[in-house]
Amino acid sequence: MLQIHSLRGASMPDATTLLLAGERQENIWYQRAGSLGGAWSAAWPATPEPFTPDAAFDSPAIAQAIALAGEEVAIGGTWNLPGGDVYTAWLRRVALGDGAVACTCEVEAAGILALLPVDGGDVIVAGYRQDPSMRSSAWLARVEPGCATACPIAWEHALPGAEADVYFGRAELVRDAVFALVPAPGGGVFAAGTVDREPWAARYADDGAEQWVMKRGASSGAALAIAASEDGSCLTLVGSEKYGNYAERSWWARRVSLPP
Give pTM, 2 decimals.
Answer: 0.89
Residue pair 87/107 in contact (Cβ under 8 Å)? The answer is no
Give the mean pLDDT of 171-179: 76
Q: What is the mean pLDDT of residues 199-215?
A: 96
Q: What is the pLDDT of residue 57?
A: 44
Given a cut of 70, whether residue 107 has pLDDT beyond it is yes
pLDDT for residue 191 is more than 90:
yes
Domains of the chain and CATH, by start: 6-257 (2.130.10.10)
Confidence of residue 56 (pLDDT cuts 50, 70, 90): very low
Higher pLDDT, residue 160 or 133: 160
Q: How far apart are CA 34 and CA 18, in angstroms?
A: 6
Percentage above 90 pLDDT, the chain: 52
Q: Which of 212, 174, 207, 171 is nearest to 190 (CA)?
A: 212
